[in-house]
Chains A and B, each alone.
Chain A
Amino acid sequence: MAIFGLWVINKAGGLVYERSFGDGLPHLTSNEYLVLAGTLHGIHAITSRLSPTGSSSGAHVISGETFKMNILLTATGTKFVLLTSLVEPTADSMLQKVYEIYADAVMKNPFHTPEMPIRSEAFDTRITTLLG
């Protein structure tokens, strides 16, 4: 039961927000996170094409041996990725709440440019209270 990080990826595959929590996973440089987010964006598109039974969504959960990545794809193409420990049943509801906070604190902010990195203190603090 631990949360390691949160990413927000825009519809073009760019990383617009990245936060790490705790030290369960090593901290990488921002360039490395950008590359990983871009890769994830591509993989997510491919996974929906590999379905053996007709149309499919992209990957929801990607698991390693000690952690997993939970992915929420919104209708507008923005992806929220939550890195958690393997047993984390609340990850899905947590992602929904992050989406709500994003809608409130980022999308309703008139000074925010869509698809650009999120620099909003309100978003930061609300994410901290939810996940930190």
Chain B
Amino acid sequence: MTIYSLYIYDRHCACVYYQDWHRTVRPKLAVEGGLLPAVYAPVYPSTNPDDASYSNRNTLASSSGVVVAVNEDVPRTPLPTQSSHSPIAQLPPPPTSSLSFDEEAKLVYGVVLSLRNMIKKLSGKDEQFTNYQTSTYKLHLYETLSGYKFVMLSDPNADSLRFVLRQIYSGPFLEYVVRNPLVEMDSRERGIDNEYFRMSTDRLVRGLTVFQ
């Protein structure tokens, strides 16, 4: 039993946050312009690793309480490039998804939205789609009244995790995103990634009994 990943979408269909655990197939780098900045640093396309547009995460420096806007101009000494003739056999890189991250995020959103409409249509009333299950994973959905969609991928045998998604919403999300004046909600230009939110979501998920 485990938990694989978490996606958060805003009401404009954009992926604003992503986090993963125990995922064996790594997400592939998003293509330029396909993904908002401040969603998930490792898949954000950037030719320059010190790119200020991402590193400017909406978090105050925790130690000093002072906003420090530093853009390192001094070039770092480049790491020595690894020789390809290393005597030690290199580990093969983990398999990467065939989809780029932005495409994957769009597909997840498309599936969730279509299923939600299908369940509404079939039930004839305002019934919510809650989850679906395949042979290798289970996808859970929790939608807030403000249109944010929390999507979690877990082990196929897990019970419904809607309560966890609700906890993420009512705990870390409200505390560090909605009540955070540095996060511009509904901006359509930036995600909502910040260190406090990422850390406390991580702690919450790692504390679950289904997470092993």
Interface size on A, residues (CB 8 A): 32
Flag if B133 contacts A61 (CB, 8 Å). yes
Residues of A contacting B131 in the complex (Cβ-Cβ under 8 angstroms): 62-63
Q: Which residues of B contact A32 (CB under 8 A)?
A: 121
- Please tell me if the beta carbons of A46 and B110 are within 8 angstroms of each other in the complex: yes
**A43 CB-CB contact with B under 8 Å:** yes
Minimum Cβ distance to chain B for residue A85 (Å):
12
Interchain nearest-CB distance for B139 vs A (Å): 8
Interface residue SS majority, chain B: mixed
Contact yes or no, B132 A47, CB < 8 A: yes
Binary per-residue interface labels of chain B (173-189) against chain A in the complex, 1 for a CB within 8 Å, 0 otherwise: 00000000000000000
B 194-205 to A, binary, CB cutoff 8 A, 1 in contact else 0: 000000000000
Given A39-B114, A51-B134, A83 and B123 contact (CB-CB distance below 8 Å): no
Residue of A nearest to B4 (CB): A52
Q: What DSSP secondary structure best describes chain A's contact surface? A: loop
Query: With a CB–CB cut-off of 8 A, which chain A residues contact B130?
Result: 63-65
User: Chain A residue with minimal CB distance to B156?
Assistant: A60
Which residue of chain A has its CB nearest to the CB of B128?
A: A65
22 CB-based A-B contacts, threshold 8 Å: A25-B122, A25-B124, A26-B124, A47-B134, A47-B139, A49-B98, A50-B104, A50-B153, A51-B134, A52-B5, A52-B25, A53-B23, A53-B25, A53-B136, A57-B134, A58-B134, A61-B133, A62-B131, A64-B123, A65-B127, A65-B128, A66-B127
Q: Which residues of B contact A (CB under 8 A)?
A: 4-5, 20, 23-25, 95, 98-99, 104, 107-108, 110-111, 114-115, 118-119, 121-124, 127-137, 139, 153
Query: Given contacts A43-B114, A53-B4, could you give 20 more A-B pairs where the C-beta distance is less than 8 Å?
Result: A36-B118, A39-B114, A43-B111, A43-B115, A46-B110, A47-B134, A50-B104, A52-B23, A52-B25, A54-B24, A54-B136, A57-B134, A59-B134, A62-B119, A62-B132, A64-B119, A64-B127, A65-B123, A66-B127, A83-B122
